[in-house]
Structure 1
Amino acid sequence: MTIFVAEWQMTSDLTAEVAQRVADGWELSWRVSWLPARLVTRAQALAGMELAEIFAGDHYQRDMVVAARAIQSAEELGIAVEDAMYVLMGRRSA
């Protein structure tokens, strides 16, 4: 799992989901592709990308460390891990 972080964009080698910086100088200046209605902080955008990578495969079901990381990332975004999983799994199968 690799998340590529640049000044204005975050991408992944496992998923097509992206995070893009949409403003300069604001705390809530990032948008994550799978949460398009929300503006988030840089830390939250990174958490959103981590969730996208985690749910890009099925290893989260077998690895307690990865499952714990998913919960932590969802908490950073202020959402339930089940909600994140539902959205991302739906986008993966679409």
Structure 2
Amino acid sequence: MTSDLTAESAQKVADGWELGWRVSWLPHRLVSRGQALAGMELAEIFSGRHYQQDVVLAVRAIVSADELGIAVEEAMAVLTRREG
């Protein structure tokens, strides 16, 4: 998976395993396809500053972070550092 908005990506690294995906900004963790999609959504949400004034994006970020089992603040911190 690649993004049109950011350099982040997700790659399938194992067939036949539920946790067979790796997200570029979470390199030490294997995730499910759904979690990889959530990770890519977070990367796109935090790729700019538009999320700061968009309640819908803020809620989507919380839901996506929850899918990954991390705090939205942690995801934001990692992704904004990588953007910088």
- Tell me the TM-score normalised to structure 1 length: 0.89
Match of 2:3 in 1: 12
* Structure 2 unaligned residues grouped into runs of 5+: none
Structure ranking higher in strand proportion: 1
Larger RCO, structure (CA 8 Å, separation 6 or more): 2
Q: Which secondary structure does the structure 1 equivalent of 2:11 belong to? A: strand
Uncovered stretches (5+) of structure 1, i.e. residues with no partner: 1-9
Distance 1:85 1:47 in 2: 13
Between the two proteins, what is the percent identity of the paired residues? 76
* Corresponding residue pairs, total: 84
Runs of 4+ in 1 over 2 A off after TM superposition: none
Q: Deviations over 1:4-60 (max 9, x none)?
A: xxxxxx100000000000000000000000000000000000000000000001111
Q: Relative to total residues, which structure has the larger helix share, 1 or 2?
A: 2
